[in-house]
A = this chain, B = another copy of it.
Amino acid sequence: MTPERLSLNTATVSKQWNLRQCVEGCQRHGFGGIAPWRDKLHEAGVGEGARMIKDAGLAVSGLCRGGWYTAEGALTTAVLDDNKRAVDEAVALGAACLVMVVGGLPKGSRDIAGARGIVAEGLAKTLDYARGLDMPIAIEPLHPMYAADRACVNTLSQALDLCDDLGAGIGVALDVYHVWWDPDLAAQVKRAGKDRLLGFHICDWLVPTRDMLTDRGMMGDGVIDLPGIRAMVEATGFRGLNEVEIFSSENWWKRDADEVLTEVVARGRDCC
């Protein structure tokens, strides 16, 4: 793909660049969009961040992230209010969606069904608020290895069941890293369709993977069939950007960020 089909998730260069540097980097390398994490956005200031992204002519493929409904063991006003603020920030950015990492098991809990109940209730409340502002909510199913400590929504099928229960205004963000292994992937991407597919994130799964959180690979360095999954996604009619999100403490986070973006563009061209 050409660089204007790419969006830079700021996590990819989170150790090197602040939001302004990310925006300027996206311009220099010809990216079509950006997906800020909220910490970078807060650091820049929401208004100022929104302005610089708009001035740069970048689309916002998503805001990372809302969710974490299980953080306090039960839904609290603090958690719900933070999700409302995330919706407001996504609106300020004109983001395509607010990406939700829903939270794992509450501390000390072994009740994953209970955690999933909290998440469903929290999503319903945030969705109610987001609908009033026309901001789509995107549930990101996370790899099952994060079920305990990051997100208890772990398959596309499960996320779509939630969407079916919750109705209009909610869909999914599909990250190849989390779903590439799923024997039901093709069927569930088709089920999601254009209306429910709100985001598409790319990177690669390395063999071996040396760290469960921060050893993601650059596209082409791992075992994910990126062209195959992209074809599934685009067959639905999805025309959003290809958002590159790579957590890599021992490799890409240690490199010069311009070098990283050069490589992202090359791999986008050759491996996706």
Contact = CB atoms under 8 A, between A and B. Distances in A.
29 contacts: A109-B223, A110-B223, A110-B224, A110-B225, A110-B228, A111-B225, A112-B180, A112-B181, A112-B223, A116-B183, A143-B145, A144-B145, A144-B181, A145-B209, A145-B212, A147-B180, A147-B181, A148-B205, A148-B222, A148-B223, A152-B181, A154-B181, A154-B182, A155-B183, A157-B183, A157-B184, A158-B183, A209-B212, A212-B212
A43 interface: no
Range of interface residues on A (Cβ < 8 Å) = 20 to 34
Given A149-B207, A158-B183, A207-B148, A223 B143 contact: no
Contacts of A155: 183
Chain A interface, >50% SS class: loop
Interface string A88-100: 0000000000000
A218 interface: no
A133 B166 CA distance: 52
Contacts of A148: 181, 205, 207, 222-223
10 closest A-B pairs by CB: A147-B181, A144-B181, A110-B225, A145-B145, A158-B183, A148-B207, A148-B223, A144-B144, A110-B223, A149-B207
A116 B148 CA distance: 28
B109 A149 contact: no
A132 interface: no
A4 to B, nearest CB: 26
Contacts of A205: 148
